[in-house]
Chain A
């Protein structure tokens, strides 16, 4: 149980375009989902926390207009990187909580490359 999926696993886009990443909890309802970014050989940095049906809470330094987060249902959250630039190239990972504890279940990640 507690499986989280992400789609796509890899995406390449051109500079200036937008790309959407989906995060789904497959066998549980996720009251809260988190989005992280991880650059090579670095740790996971929390970008934002999203609760179903409400606006996401962004961490300091993360542009909310550039990284649009939508948590429309208890099983789906999306992250849209708008007007992507090469410096946005990174590994984006989502996680989900089922509301019963602190544990977060992580997705497999999405490798974004902006050319």
Chain B
């Protein structure tokens, strides 16, 4: 079946650096995408979302970029902090079904 996948299973960065987490999706009908952060033993926490009619959306220290041509999604975290250490998931809504399909996840490790 169609799925959302990630290029990097783990990402290690130095505190203060910028982080980029990537995600590839395969369903061209997907019209809504979300990034979630999940800390150990907790439920996913919403970070930022983007609709398919946008290329970029910015939040506080985070930016999501959507490239529909190559079906690629990325999450950029500016000035990464130790508190950003977690697993990050992208998720897509496959067009009108009101459900989310989650990618495999990327673990972000921030080193002081």
Which residues of A does B touch, CB under 8 Å? 4, 6, 32, 34, 42-46, 49, 91, 93, 95, 97, 102-109, 111
Contact = CB atoms under 8 A, between A and B. Distances in A.
A104 B100 contact: yes
A102 B50 CA distance: 11
Contacts, number: 51
Interface in B56-112: 89, 93, 98-105
Interface of A, helix, strand, loop or mixed by DSSP: strand
Contact of A102 (B32, B43, B44, B104): B32
Contacts of A103: 34, 46, 49
Nearest to B31: A102
29 contacts: A4-B43, A6-B43, A32-B98, A34-B99, A34-B100, A42-B104, A42-B105, A43-B104, A43-B105, A44-B89, A44-B102, A46-B101, A46-B102, A49-B99, A91-B41, A95-B44, A97-B98, A102-B32, A102-B34, A102-B49, A102-B93, A102-B100, A103-B49, A104-B100, A106-B36, A106-B43, A106-B44, A106-B46, A108-B42
B79 to A, nearest CB: 26
Contacts of B32: 102
Contacts of A104: 100
Nearest to A93: B43
Interface residues of B, number: 20
Given A43-B102, A97-B98, A106-B46, 18 more contacts: A34-B99, A43-B105, A44-B44, A44-B89, A49-B99, A91-B41, A93-B43, A93-B44, A102-B34, A102-B93, A102-B100, A103-B34, A104-B100, A106-B43, A106-B44, A108-B42, A108-B43, A111-B41
